[in-house]
A and B are shown apart, each in its own frame.
Chain A
């Protein structure tokens, strides 16, 4: 199971921070992504990390994104800096077996984040 956690409200220009906790399975050998869905829009992949800490980010967000992992806690985290209203979305964490060409087979329930002063 995957569970997202973090503040539901972030002020413009500040940093959004979310954590995904994995339970009931091994953290290693898999890949872990952050994906979001803004209101009225489709899904957008933010980036992924694997257990060794290798990351790949969406080119459109790369300058503002950092994904990190804490294997001792079975957690991985998202930091998105300089947020604006366009970053308002439901944020999901998801598991997949490989970086590309593999299904997102487990998802968290999603956590809503609103960017507003």
Chain B
């Protein structure tokens, strides 16, 4: 069981907006930055959101992130077929003194 809680799956149609939640606690999301990784089938994860809400160079502005209290979320607007992937949230946990990940969310574009 993961320290961070994500929905196992979300889905949407092309052009729609979807959000993926990541729920944690005071020792992780409550104190530290959240990172979001996209993992395409058979590929290594790639960061799409850094330090809660920053998009690295090359990531479309359709991707956005936010964090408040002990929860964070990733939003993808203007959904495209190439967004179909697993998405993972990650954050440093001060109590565990280590990185923790969510269980991952499978995004399906219908």
A interface residue numbers (CB < 8 A to B): 33, 41-45, 47, 56-59, 92, 99-101, 103-105, 107-110
The interface bits of chain B over 33-48 (1 if a CB of A lies within 8 angstroms of the residue's CB, else 0) are: 1010100000111110
Q: How many interface residues does chain B have, given as a range? A: 20 to 34
Q: Classify the secondary structure of A's interface with B.
A: loop
Inter-chain contacts of A104 with B (CB < 8 A):
35, 37, 45, 47, 90
Inter-chain contacts of A99 with B (CB < 8 A):
92
Name which residue of chain B comes closest to A58, CB basis: B98
Inter-chain contacts of B101 with A (CB < 8 A):
42-45
B interface residue numbers (CB < 8 A to A): 2, 6, 32-33, 35, 37, 43-47, 50-51, 56, 88, 90, 92, 94, 96-104
Given A42-B104, A45-B101, A107 contacting B32 (CB threshold 8 A): no
Expressed in whole angstroms, the minimum distance between the Cβ of B108 and any Cβ of chain A is 16
